[in-house]
């Protein structure tokens, strides 16, 4: 039996308590300073307030003040914070984790640098740890997986990525079940880029749903031609970004495409894309969602900023990213939705 400590009681971090506990491991779920009510409710009722299914029996619940006790003796740490908690996790939590305990994060996103590079969060955390002379095994989860379907035991295939294959195999042995299937990759930047990039592009696809609701009525049937066209353009632009980062492999593209597919069909990114497509500007859409965190907006803005910086240096061409550039204008300039369909077309003469 292993001891699995999950820090961050959001939906995805909490969902991972299911396979871990069902495999017979001791699971310690720690709430951040923002998760107090979640931990209180879960401890009292045995159920996360946003789940429709009880946690497996035997999970132990901790408030953030007791995080050191929850880490003590653990065999692995799962980081369950959102991308808005990246700095907090890197500055507060990682420094107190012993170097012999591997970390597995569910946090998805990219940071752009002044010279147009895109860093995944394990790279950002490594830079922070280097400054204090500490080394940790930083690993991450990528791939198409929604928390509520993982809780429901829907068949799910993800990828664990990290620098050391032996560590990844250990983590897979702890977490894999007959419904949670795990591929392994040492291409951390590739996997992490794949699952981060899909956020901005899922928003782009969702725009078409809102546009069709605007044109044909909110209760009209779904139109799939337009969604499929933007999906295809999204994959094309994602691949070009993989090429820029030196991570253009079939495996990374597959992980990104799968995650893009599932994100379009549910969640906050779909909602904001639909609202924008209906004609709301970005401020109005945010107000409509009443403070819901939107990681997709942050990722899209950062990636677009990096592309524009690279274009200035002649490394990339913004003309290769018409969808991303349009999404960026919608977010940063409050531009109206006007999907550049003709810019998606190509001529291929073999």
Statement to judge: residues 48 and 83 lie in one domain: yes
The domain boundary residue, chosen from 186, 206, 231 = 186
Domain of 290, CATH number, reads 1.10.1040.10
CB-CB contact of 5 with 71 (8 Å): yes
The position carrying tokens 């913004």 is 318
Neighbours of 40 (CB within 10 A): 14
Overall size of the chain counted in residues: 350
Statement to judge: residues 144 and 220 lie in one domain: no
241-245-247 Cα angle (round to 5): 90
Residue 178: predicted pLDDT? 98
Per-residue pLDDT of 110-135, as tens digits, reads 999 999 999 999 999 999 999 999 99
Domain of 88, CATH number, reads 3.40.50.720
Dist. CA 190–CA 226, nearest whole Å: 28
The answer to the question of residue 159 being in a domain is yes
Residue 267: predicted pLDDT? 77
The domain boundary residue, chosen from 152, 186, 220 = 186
The answer to the question of residue 59 being in a domain is yes
CB-CB contact of 143 with 259 (8 Å): yes
Residue 257: predicted pLDDT? 97
Residue 296: predicted pLDDT? 85
The domain boundary residue, chosen from 135, 152, 186 = 186
326-343-251 Cα angle (round to 5): 80
Per the structure, the complete domain to which residue 43 belongs is given by 3-186
Statement to judge: residues 150 and 223 lie in one domain: no
What domain count does the chain have?
Answer: 2
Residue 292: predicted pLDDT? 64
CA atoms within 13 A on the CB side of 200: 32
Statement to judge: residues 32 and 131 lie in one domain: yes
Neighbours of 348 (CB within 10 A): 4
Average pLDDT for consecutive 10-residue bins of the chain (350 residues)? 97 97 98 97 98 98 98 98 93 98 96 96 97 98 95 98 98 98 98 94 96 94 95 98 97 96 88 95 89 80 97 97 97 96 97
The answer to the question of residue 191 being in a domain is no
Q: What percent of the chain has a predicted confidence (pLDDT) above 70? A: 99
Statement to judge: residues 28 and 147 lie in one domain: yes
CB-CB contact of 105 with 79 (8 Å): yes
CB-CB contact of 89 with 115 (8 Å): no
Statement to judge: residues 168 and 201 lie in one domain: no
Element containing residue 30 per DSSP (H, E): strand 26-30
Statement to judge: residues 129 and 103 lie in one domain: yes
CB-CB contact of 158 with 142 (8 Å): yes
Statement to judge: residues 146 and 10 lie in one domain: yes
The answer to the question of residue 169 being in a domain is yes
Two tokens, residue 173: 């042995």
Statement to judge: residues 106 and 201 lie in one domain: no
């Amino acid at each position: 039996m292993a001891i699995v400590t999950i820090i961050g009681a959001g939906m995805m971090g909490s969902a991972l308590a299911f396979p871990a506990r069902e495999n017979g491991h001791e699971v310690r779920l720690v709430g951040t300073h923002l998760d107090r009510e979640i931990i209180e409710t879960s401890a009292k009722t045995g159920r996360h307030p946003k789940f429709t299914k009880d946690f497996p029996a035997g999970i132990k619940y901790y408030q953030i003040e007791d995080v050191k006790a929850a880490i003590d003796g653990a065999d692995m740490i799962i980081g369950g914070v959102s991308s808005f908690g990246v700095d907090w996790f890197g500055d507060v939590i990682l420094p107190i984790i012993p170097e012999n305990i591997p970390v597995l994060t569910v946090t998805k996103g990219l940071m752009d640098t002044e010279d147009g590079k895109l860093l995944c969060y394990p790279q950002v955390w490594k830079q922070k740890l280097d400054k204090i002379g500490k080394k940790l095994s930083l690993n991450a989860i990528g791939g198409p997986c929604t928390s509520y379907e993982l809780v429901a035991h829907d068949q799910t295939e993800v990828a664990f990525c990290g620098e050391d294959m032996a560590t990844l195999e250990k983590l897979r042995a702890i977490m894999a079940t007959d419904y949670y299937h795990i591929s392994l990759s040492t291409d951390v930047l590739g996997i992490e880029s794949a699952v981060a990039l899909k956020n901005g592009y899922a928003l782009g696809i969702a725009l078409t749903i809102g546009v069709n609701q605007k044109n044909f009525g909110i209760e009209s049937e779904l139109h799939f031609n337009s969604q499929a066209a933007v999906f295809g353009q999204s994959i094309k632009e994602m691949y070009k970004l993989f090429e820029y980062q030196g991570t253009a492999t079939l495996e990374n593209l597959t992980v990104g495409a799968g995650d893009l597919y599932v994100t379009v069909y549910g969640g906050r990114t779909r909602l904001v894309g639909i609202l924008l497509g209906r004609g709301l500007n970005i401020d109005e859409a945010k107000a409509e969602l009443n403070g819901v965190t939107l990681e997709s907006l942050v990722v899209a803005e950062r990636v677009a900023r990096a592309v524009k910086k690279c274009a200035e240096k002649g490394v990339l061409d913004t003309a290769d990213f018409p969808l991303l550039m349009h999404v960026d204008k919608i977010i940063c300039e409050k531009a109206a939705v006007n999907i550049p369909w003709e810019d998606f077309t190509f001529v291929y003469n073999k």
